[in-house]
Amino acid sequence: MSKLALYRLIQGIPVLLVVVTVTFFLIRAAPGGPFDAERTLPPEVVKNLEQRYNLDAPVAEQFFDYLGNLLRGDFGPSFRYPNRSVNELIASGLPITFELALYAILVAVIIGLAVGMLASIKPNSLQDYLPMSLAMIGICMPAFLLGPVLVLVFGIWLEWLPVSGWGYSPGDKILPAVTLGFAYAAYIARLTRGGMLEVLNQDFIRTARAKGLSTRRILFKHALRGGLSPVVAFLGPAIAGLLTGSFVVETIFQIPGLGRFYVQAAFNRDYTMIMGTTILLSCLIVLLNILSDLIAAWMNPRIRGAR
Amino acid sequence: MSEINSLLSVENLRVSFDTRDGATTAVDDISFCIKAGQTLGIVGESGSGKSVTCYAILGLLQQPPAKVEQGKALFAGIDLVASSEKVLRTIRGNRISMIFQDPMTSLNPYLTVGEQIIEPLMVHAGISRHDAKTKAISLLSEVGIENAAKRFNQYPYEYSGGMRQRAMIAMALITEPELLIADEPTSALDVSVQQQILELIKSLQQRLGIGLIIISHDLDVVRDIAQHVVVMKKGVAVEQGEVDQVLSSPAHPYTRELINAVPRGVKPEQYRFAQDSARGLLEVRHMSISFAGFNAVDDVSLRLRQGEILGIVGASGSGKSTLSRGIVRLEQLDCGEVLLEQVPLHALGKAALRSKRKDIQMIFQDPYASLNPRMTVHDALAEPIKLHGIARSQEGIRQQVVRLMEEVDLSAAWINKYPHEFSGGQRQRVAIARALAVEPKLIVADEPVSALDVTVQARVLDLLLQITKKRGLSLIFISHDLKVVNYMADRIITMRDGKIYEV
Amino acid sequence: MSIVIAPADPAAEPQPGRSLWKDAWFRLKKNRLAMFGLWTMLLLIGLSILTPWIAPYGYETQDLALGAAPPSLSHWLGTDTLGRDLLTRLLYGGRVSLLVGFAATAVSLVVGVLWGTIAGYVGGVVDALMMRIVDMLYALPFMIFVILLMVVFGQSFVLLFLAIGLVEWLTMARIVRGQVQSLSRQEFISAAVVMGLSDSQIIKRHVVPNVLGPVMVYITLTIPAVMLFEAFLSFLGLGVQPPQSSWGVLIANGVETMEEYPWLLIFPGIALSVTLFALNFLGDGLRDALDPKSVEQNRIE
């Protein structure tokens, strides 16, 4: 198992390299980007860029310079805000986005697991159809639709919850977390239901019943581990989706997180910011994917035991 | 058999299933009983309802789609059929235990074996984990698992098939039940291990004095281990009584059919092979096939004459399947030669091989996987006919197809049916027809009847004998079942670990 | 499953067979939600095709004097801030959304199926290599790359569905390869080889028809995922560019003015949601219909 972990981590390195390389060269190819000969920028920015990126040097050198800076944790100066560096912006936005993603995933996992398990106990009954239809809504109403609707209903019409900001007014974290997490709650509910149903259909569950065990024991001790495996495998892509989804949610709810900065950077063509954020988020996603894969593998005793 | 003093008495049990085509009766008015310390065998082929009966007794059926329409199952004064789930749970795994056919899938792969064994003891008897563990380990030793203390903490994947079944037995007996139900306990195991497990069950049952119901399709198993037997067919108990009596003088025609279907001795006179006149057909010289360093087939040579049936017998893993696939060039040879009428099959180029294929065909074990589920019988048989130019016109092809179907005893009215609409035996006939379609000289049959019920098996075997005789075909017949091979073959070869031991 | 019993008259007329497709269709018909999905999709596709003839107003027609107006008899769904009829915009936007959905899925279908079939059928080293590549690509956060691509090169419509399609092909390849691999192990494929069929004949006649089922299910579930992604991109201003608009763009515009003119958000929202619903129900229904394992057996009690 530890061999597998090492192997996966090592596999991750070329992936990260690809991420950085592709991002760098894409940005470089961008019309009007920092590497474009014809650009109209305020002179201070030009001066900063020239200092940092050595823009007259050959491409390879520029790339390795950037790589070197990255490894030192330096993402460079912002393209649009002359006096701020990308690092600063990331440092202010990342913790907020993390918090949002954390709440969202709590919402998703707790609701999703509970609903999915309830549905799997009595398939094709009301206990199954009702929550699963609700889950379908979660899948078919994306965050950028659900968010505004929730804002409209709870914020504007009913005025129960605040609709913008993060940490300013009490309860302003509720709507964003729910908006972001709802779709994932739906996916997790469906995966849980599917996984549980498949496990409950296996022979060893029949053996457990023949041993006279209670429903609760069968569910939690025997079925859960196998039934959860699709959910665990999903966590990696889920986090990736959450981080991407934060772009939309932060925009709608005016939350000063990394996602919102990214969207603004995209609009403003703040290339260094885009580059830095892309690389950071991508690295996070790659690492979290590896982690979730390893956890999923660990849950299988056969793989866990293999040297 | 009187119902008083019975350990378990089943009366007029009837179970039906709700299927897409309406309600079918799986168990039709069954009654039997078993006394303490005795063994009852329930014998039947697939679809006989033998397993459903026992599931119904323990309330393990999913209702719906199943429905217990009537009947009683009296155990220690309680009617199990009418009992609530709560009551049943106190009895299951406690006073009545059950073991199942496939120990690989019947054990939870995510929990250690030890954890699963102590579970019923802790749940039903309230014994502490520590005490339960002690008992479990000694029980594991008793059922023949060495290093029981270490094995206790291992997972099912670390056990072999036979060991898993022993663990299941330990799990069933740890609560010292009064009745044990064993549903085909040896069918999924290797032949070499089957006898050991049966012996184990037999000795444990005698020593502990528990009642045993053993479900099996194999009459020999029941003869060996049971005192009484119930013979079931399509949900009905056609005959029951003491084992020796029923099996030596069966009253019901079905019982007789069942007994006669097991191949005994050699084949009838008319199918015997006339040694002298035949010429050589196939020669295999020093064939070796290996996978990742493992020698599946190790320097095998054999010869076959036209019209001869060669039987190849061996346990699973002996290499007999790989040998057959090597002959037909479904596997690459590491070295060696395969000569069909002097033509080197192993060396032919792709196109030459394809046209030579019409001389040598193959029949496989699993009737459910050997036919393309999306093709009708007509299409499946027409394909080889068209491919090798046996017939070319629509009408010509159709006539050939009908002729083939009649040859394998399938009604021509089924020509447009799909595989899933047939039974296992019927599908195997289609597979045989498909092999015959190209007019081969040799057919390689890899365990062609192993997946079939014993009465169906007998008919397919006789069909194969008829066809090979009529067409003057050669047949290589592979099986793990010595009885079958003895019946079919003119000459027998045994294989073990990839090598041949000639008989 | 009914087992055929010999008919009394041996020379009787051939009985009709019931193919697996027919079986699946019967099962699908019983699933009301899936049929709702099917009819809804057919309706939407029909409307999209007929849009130029049935749209009440021109796509560009503005009525600045009117401005944004709530639903009325002359404008069934109301108008936007420039006085453009929302129903018309919704119809035209739908064409774009559906087009992107189908086109992107087609891209992922072609690439994924080819890749998966070759890997699954040939097996061995080729398979190992091809799937290793898939694994590596899978680890990349494609969504972010697509966003990046659109930021950098954003103006091309073709690029949009190429990029989106390339996100999804990996899963398709994996599914197809898994199916083909398990198929190749089945004995009727060996029988086909022994019969003397060539590889291409085997793939065409034996592999493809049996892989079609799961592929169909996957297509039906990929289209909504793709449409969602397009709407997401358009919402961020990175997807479909003016003068074209899609439902995503309409929703983005609607959000801006949702307090004053909620109908501008609600109607496109309903359109997108209903479409996604329909496709997902249909996909789920197809999956259940094509998979003979029944769910009723799974009750724990």
Chain B contact for C205 (CB, 8 A cutoff): yes
Residue C67 lies in a domain: no
At A25 the pLDDT is: 80
The mean pLDDT of C199-211, rounded to a whole number, is 89
Q: Do the domain assignments include residue C186?
A: yes
Q: Are C246 and C239 in contact (CB under 8 A)?
A: yes
How close, in Å, is residue A30 to chain C by CA atoms? Answer: 5
Residue B421 corresponds to which amino acid? E
> A235-256: per-residue pLDDT in tens?
888 888 888 889 889 988 889 8
pLDDT at C301: 25
Domain containing C137 equals: 25-50+81-300
Cα separation, B57 vs B42, in Å, equals: 14
CB contact under 8 A, A248 and C269: no
Q: Note whether B328 contacts C194, CB cutoff 8 Å.
A: yes
State yes or no: pLDDT of A307 exceeds 60: no
Split into its structural domains, chain C has a count of 1
Question: Could you report the per-residue pLDDT of B140-169, keeping only the tens digit for each?
Answer: 999 999 899 999 999 999 998 899 999 999
Nearest partner of A176 among A97, A235, A120, A233, judged by Cα? A97
Question: Does residue C77 carry a pLDDT above 50?
Answer: yes
Q: What is the pLDDT of residue C9?
A: 53
Token pair of B388 as six digits: 């090798």
Domains defined for chain B, CATH in brackets: 1-95+178-190+208-260 (3.40.50.300), 102-176 (no CATH), 269-502 (3.40.50.300)
Chain A residues closer than 8 Å to C235 by CB: 144, 248
Q: How far is B385 from chain C (nearest CA, A)?
A: 10
Task: State how far the Cα of A73 lies from the Cα of A82, in Å rounded to an integer.
Answer: 19
Residue C280 lies in a domain: yes
Q: Chain C: nearest CA to A197, how far in angstroms?
A: 6
C93: CATH: 1.10.3720.10
Among C148, C235, C280, select the one facing A136 at the smallest CB separation: C280
A88–chain C nearest CA distance, Å: 21
DSSP string, chain C: -PPP---SSTTPPPPPP--HHHHHHHHHHH-HHHHHHHHHHHHHHHHHHHHHHH-SS-SS---TTT-S----SSSTT-B-TT--BHHHHHHHHHHHHHHHHHHHHHHHHHHHHHHHHHHHHH-HHHHHHHHHHHHHHHHS-HHHHHHHHHHHHTT-HHHHHHHHHHHHHHHHHHHHHHHHHHHHTSHHHHHHHHHT--HHHHIIIIIHHHHHHHHHHHHHHHHHHHHHHHHHHHHTT-SSPTTS--HHHHHHHHHHTTTT-THHHHHHHHHHHHHHHHHHHHHHHHHHHH----GGGG---
Residue C235 is predicted with a pLDDT of 85
Is residue C255 within 8 angstroms of chain A, CB to CB? yes
Span C251-268, average pLDDT: 89
Give the A-side interface with B, CB within 8 Å: 202-204, 206-214, 217, 221-222, 225-226, 299-302, 305
Q: Which member of A123, A149, A266 has the closest CB to residue C299?
A: A123
User: How many CA atoms within 13 Å lie on the side-chain side of B30?
Assistant: 36
Tell which B residues from 434 to 473 touch C, by Cβ distance under 8 Å: 434, 438
C68 located within any domain: no
Q: Residue C8: inside a domain, yes or no?
A: no
Which residues of chain B, if any, have pLDDT below 70?
A: 1-4, 20-21, 276-277, 503
> Under an 8 A CB cutoff, do B123 and A212 touch?
yes
Q: How many CB pairs below 8 A link B and C?
A: 119
A57 — pLDDT class (breaks 50, 70, 90): low
Which residues in chain B have their CB less than 8 angstroms from residue C301's CB? 85
Quick one: pLDDT band at residue C63, thresholds 50, 70, 90? confident
Top-confidence residue, B476 or A33: B476
- So what's the pLDDT on residue C12? 64
For chain C, what is the mean pLDDT? Answer: 84
Q: What is the pLDDT of residues A154-193, one digit of tens each?
A: 888 888 888 887 888 878 888 899 999 999 999 999 999 9
Six token digits for residue A174: 């509720």
More confident position, A39 or A277: A277
- Chain B residues lying within 8 Å of C20, measured CB to CB: 373-374, 418, 420
Establish if A22 touches chain C: CB-CB under 8 angstroms: yes
Give dist(CA B214, CA B42) in Å, integer: 6
- Which whole number is the average pLDDT over C210-229? 88
CA atoms within 13 A on the CB side of B4: 0
**Per the CB < 8 Å rule, is B107 touching A208?**
no
Question: Cβ contact (<8 Å) for A266 and C236?
Answer: yes
Helix residue spans in A82-202 (DSSP H): 86-121, 126-140, 143-150, 174-200
pLDDT reported for residue A265: 81
| In-domain check, residue C1 | no
| Percent of chain C at pLDDT exceeding 70 | 92
Q: State residue C295's pLDDT score.
A: 37
pLDDT at B5: 74
Which has more confidence, B134 or A82? B134
Chains that touch A (3 or more CB pairs under 8 A): B, C
Task: Give the pLDDT mean for A221-227.
Answer: 90
Residues from chain C that touch A289, judged by Cβ atoms under 8 A, are 139
Residue A267 sits at the chain C interface (C-beta within 8 Å):
yes
CB of B289 within 8 A of CB of B266?
no
Task: With CB atoms and an 8 Å threshold, state whether B110 touches A302.
Answer: no
C283-B420-B24 Cα angle (round to 5): 95
- pLDDT for the residue numbered B332: 87
Decide if A203 and B98 are in contact by the 8 Å CB cutoff: no
Model confidence at A35, in pLDDT bands (50, 70, 90)? low
Give yes or no for residue C42 having a pLDDT over 90.
Answer: yes
Judge whether C97 lies within some domain: yes
Contact residues on chain A for B165, CB-CB shorter than 8 A: none
Task: Look up residue B337 and give its amino acid.
Answer: E
Contacts of B377 in chain C (CB under 8 A): 17
Q: Which of A262-271, B241-250, B361-370, C164-173 has the lowest mean pLDDT?
A: A262-271
How far does Cα A207 stand from its chain's mean position? 40
Kindly list the residues from chain B whose CB atom is less than 8 angstroms away from the CB atom of residue C288. none
Distance between B342 CA and the closest CA of chain A, angstroms: 49
Q: Give the minimum alpha-carbon distance from A137 to chain C in angstroms, rounded to a whole number.
A: 8
pLDDT value at position C293? 55
Q: Would an 8 Å CB–CB cutoff place B170 in contact with chain A?
A: no
